[in-house]
Structure 1
Amino acid sequence: MKSPPGNHFTIKPTTMKRLTTVLALAVVCSGAKAQTGDSTDVKKPDTIRIGNIVIIKKKGDGKKSIDINNDYTSHSPKKKSRVKTNWGVIDLGFANYTDKTDYTAVGNYLVNRPGYPAINGNDLKLRTGKSVNVNIWFFMQQLSLIKENVNLKWGLGLELNNYRYRSDISYKEDGPIPYSNGQFSNAPFIFRDSIGFSKNKLAADYLTVPVMLNFATNHKPGKKPFIISFGVSAGYLYSQRNKQKSEARGKEKNKGDYDLEKFKFSYIGEIGLGPVKFYASYAPKSMYENAMDIRPYTFGLRFSN
């Protein structure tokens, strides 16, 4: 038999499921109100949430409204980055070196002054308190390897070393050799000068990349972590100059190639609490390319944010 003509509609299963849920909640709420009619009134919350269904009781007329929210947004906590970056780290310290030169085998690199002792290790000794090291790190980054307790650390910056001499020695890139009756040299050399200097230093500046393995403890909130790092650094010599001050010549700053090694490899380390650390470095090879065997080291304080 055919169905009689007229309007008809179909209820989707999902809609029927929601209507059934709403009716069931309404019955439960009505029963709960009837059972508590003779008891002492207890203040109830104005809003009840069951999954995506929210029941709101209005204070004024006591009516209830039921809202079904089909939108669900999951807010997962933001994942903590494994990489940390410090910008503008500054080192302030001292520069010095160990001298292992065999002065009997330096050849023509050292030029002696007639009537004076031959240049030796005493002439290359430094004014310790005035020989300084300043490092300017553009950035320092560290990658967490094991729960921020073990990290890989690296950076990029300028390593600036000033070696302040006690004696009156001078550097020459080439040119006439003093006290030699007009002889000329095409190679750099050091000679004992004929005047006294109130300031006499060799500056050696490097573009340096450090890489370290970092260990850190005590990551509790409000506590300064204790850290210790050790590794290596590689530097490229981009500037070398002999800066002097005297009454006879005034201030002089002579740039040139003084036989310093172009590349510098060092063992490095740091230790400390929070933003202030103690740092040190030591180069196992000579800072000079040929004649001299002088191995530089630095130490001081590191300041970071």
Structure 2
Amino acid sequence: QRLSKGFYWNFGLGFQFYNFKFENRDYQAIRGDESIEFIQRTDVDGSKSKISASYLTAMTLLELDFGKMNDNGRRGIRVAAGPYAGYRLGGQSKYVYRDLNGSNKSKDKQDTGLYLQNFRYGIRGELGIGRVKFFTTYDLNELFQEGKGPELNPITFGIVF
């Protein structure tokens, strides 16, 4: 929606996917009785360990287009910022490993949310140059339910073509 020359109010709806890969692949995330547990696997050789989640997300952004503000009639550098909110559609943990002699590749998956928050919200910022947009988001709420996992607020970066 155009509010004035070079000033817009944008709306969006989409899917966002989180993939949190563990630096130390010897640890596997599993759903414990009360919280997420990280167990160290010394009985196998881990090659991938991650938690993933998908969200249906809605956002609204206020955008300034400096090219259209300066009357040159085409898109220029654009900046935008605004809030977003999302609802979790699914989540899982995945652990890929081989036995210690290097054979028999296996995968362990838990199709659970691993105590992830069902609702997320935060702030999104964008910088557009030509047809490319760079964006970053910061979740204002924590990834895991209170007391059920590590305290962390996800930050994402990306490019939109």
TM-score range, shorter chain: 0.7 to 0.9
Preserved CA contact (<8 Å) 1:268 1:279: yes
> What whole-Å deviation, never above 9, does each CA across 1:97-118 have from its counterpart, x for those lacking one?
xxxxxxxxxxxxxxxxxxxxxx
Mapped pair 1:298 → 2:156: yes
Please say if 1:160 is aligned against 2:17.
yes
Aligned to 2:110: 254
Q: Which amino acid aligns with 1:156?
A: L
| Identity between Structure 1 and Structure 2 (%) | 26
The one-letter amino acid paired with 1:244 is Y
Whether 1:271 and 2:120 are equivalent positions in the alignment is no
Paired residues for 1:1-305 under 5 Å: 143-147=1-5, 149-167=6-24, 168-174=26-32, 185=33, 187-194=34-41, 195-219=44-68, 220-221=72-73, 223-248=74-99, 250-291=106-147, 292-303=150-161
Secondary structure of the residue that 1:295 maps to in structure 2? coil
Higher helix share: 1
Shift of 1:253: 2.5
Aligned residues: 148
* 1:193 Cα offset (Å): 2.9
**Cα distance in 2 for residues equivalent to 1:257 and 1:302:** 27
- The offset of 1:209, in angstroms, is 0.5
* CA contact 1:278–1:302 (8 Å) conserved in 2: yes
CA distance, structure 1, for counterparts of residue 62 and residue 48 of structure 2: 39
Unaligned runs of 5+ in 2: 100-104
- Which of the two has higher C-alpha Rg? 1
Hey, what's the Cα distance between the residues in 2 that align with 1:162 and 1:191?
16
The amino acid across from 1:241 in the alignment is: Q
Q: Secondary structure at the match of 1:196?
A: strand
Say whether the 8 Å CA contact 2:117–2:145 is kept in structure 1: yes
1:204 aligned partner, one-letter code: A
TM-score by length of 2: 0.84
Residue aligned with 2:85, SS:
strand
Amino acid at match of 1:213: L
SS of equivalent to 1:287: coil
**Counterparts of 1:293 and 1:210, CA distance in 2:** 24
Gaps of 5+ in 1: 1-142, 175-184
State the Cα distance separating 1:251 from its structure 2 match. 2.3
- Quick one: distance in 1 between partners of 2:23 and 2:36? 18
Aligned partner letter, 2:122: S
Distance in 2 of aligned mates of 1:189 and 1:293: 12
Per-residue deviation, 1:278: 1.0
Describe the SS at the equivalent of 1:218: helix
Which is strand-richer, 1 or 2?
Answer: 2
> Bigger relative contact order, structure 1 or 2, given CA contacts below 8 A and separation 6+?
2
Residue identity in the other structure for 2:2: S
Amino acid aligned to 1:150:
F
| Letter in structure 1 aligned against 2:49 | N
Q: Distance in 1 between matches of 2:36 and 2:139?
A: 23
For residues 118 and 79 of structure 2, the distance between their equivalents in structure 1, rounded to whole angstroms, comes to: 30
TM-score, with structure 1 as normaliser: 0.46
Give the conservation status (yes or no) of the 8 Å contact 1:157–1:209.
yes
